[in-house]
């Protein structure tokens, strides 16, 4: 993953922007798509995102009474599953930097009867929780949007309990060249057109495709997690490496 030479600059998709501008630009993307976010997830992945998230729940090892933080939790798919697993004695916090996404997630889970989930608007780079708070932390399809990923991983490490685990579910690098070519054609042609049709916003989905290409590959992200302090880091390639689930322990 190429990095802009100026330390004050970062990537926003294929564009180079000032670091302080990126969070605002990402926020604009998710304000735009929040209302149709779940529908687009199903359309874009043909429903396979549900299997990726189910695998994440399985590897999380979540049990009754645990404290769980879902960062960039969006519309609450993981938080809902965690609430079922942790029960009345547990704690589930859905955190997101974007107020629109957080509101959609809150409304959705309340409508479904999940009244015990906590909602916190928070930046992953500086999480507003005490050290050693959570047994499990997840971030699904959110890390690539973070400006300083290393700072975010250190922040997650800090609030995780000793022995706790972090799971990062994110788009990654396809393992096979033919699959990669098909994926590129889909991402840069079909995906923006689908975004325009469903949300009247092709540009946000063009950013999505670009942000995926700029995200660290499997081995690079594994190294970043180790540098942040996590041990026994590993990853599982899903759907031919289009998505990878990284795991690390404190």
What is the rounded end-to-end Cα distance, in angstroms, of the chain? Answer: 26
The pLDDT value given to residue 181: 87
Tell me: the pLDDT tens digits for 64-119? 999 999 999 988 999 999 999 999 999 999 999 988 889 989 999 999 999 999 99
Could you list the residues known to form a binding site, using ranges.
Answer: 75, 96, 123-124
Distance of CA 104 to the CA centre of its chain: 16
> At residue 230, does pLDDT exceed 70?
yes
Per the annotation, binding residues for S-adenosyl-L-methionine are 75, 96, 123-124
**How high is the pLDDT of residue 85?**
96
Distance CA 131, CA 157 (A): 9
What pLDDT score was predicted for residue 2? 45
CA 65 to CA 165: how far, in whole Å? Answer: 15
**pLDDT band at residue 186 using 50, 70 and 90 as cut-offs:** confident
* H or E segment and range at residue 232: strand 231-238
Domain for residue 82, yes or no? yes
Pick 26 or 96 by higher pLDDT.
Answer: 96
Query: What are the b/e assignments for 154-166, b being 16+ CB within 10 Å?
Result: bbbbbbbbeebbb
- How many domains would you assign to the chain? 1
- In angstroms, rounded to a whole number, what is the distance separating the alpha carbons of residues 235 and 172? 11
Q: What pLDDT score does 35 carry?
A: 59
Can you give the residue range of the structural domain that contains 69? 9-174+206-249
CATH code, domain carrying 39: 3.40.50.150
């Amino acid at each position: 993953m190429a990095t802009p030479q100026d330390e004050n600059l970062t990537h926003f998709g294929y564009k180079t922007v000032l670091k302080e501008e990126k969070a605002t630009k990402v926020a604009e993307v998710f304000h735009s798509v929040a209302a149709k976010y779940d529908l687009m997830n199903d359309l874009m992945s043909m429903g396979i995102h549900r299997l990726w998230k189910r695998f994440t729940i399985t590897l999380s090892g979540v049990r009754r009474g645990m404290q769980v933080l879902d960062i960039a939790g969006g519309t609450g798919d993981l938080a809902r599953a965690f609430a079922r697993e942790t029960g009345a004695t547990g704690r589930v916090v859905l955190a997101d930097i974007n107020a629109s996404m957080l509101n959609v997630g809150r409304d959705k889970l309340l409508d479904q009867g999940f009244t015990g989930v906590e909602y916190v608007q928070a930046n992953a780079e500086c999480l507003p929780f005490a050290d050693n708070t959570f047994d499990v932390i997840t971030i699904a399809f959110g890390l690539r949007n973070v400006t300083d990923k290393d700072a975010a991983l250190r922040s997650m490490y800090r609030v995780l309990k000793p022995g706790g685990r972090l799971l990062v579910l994110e788009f990654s690098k396809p393992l096979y060249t033919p699959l990669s070519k098909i994926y590129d054609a889909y991402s840069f042609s079909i995906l923006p057109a689908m975004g325009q049709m469903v949300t009247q916003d092709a540009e946000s989905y063009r950013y999505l495709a670009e942000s995926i290409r700029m995200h660290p590959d499997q081995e690079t992200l594994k190294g970043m997690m180790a540098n942040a302090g996590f041990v026994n880091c590993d990853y599982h390639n899903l759907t031919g490496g289009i998505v990878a689930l990284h795991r690390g322990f404190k």
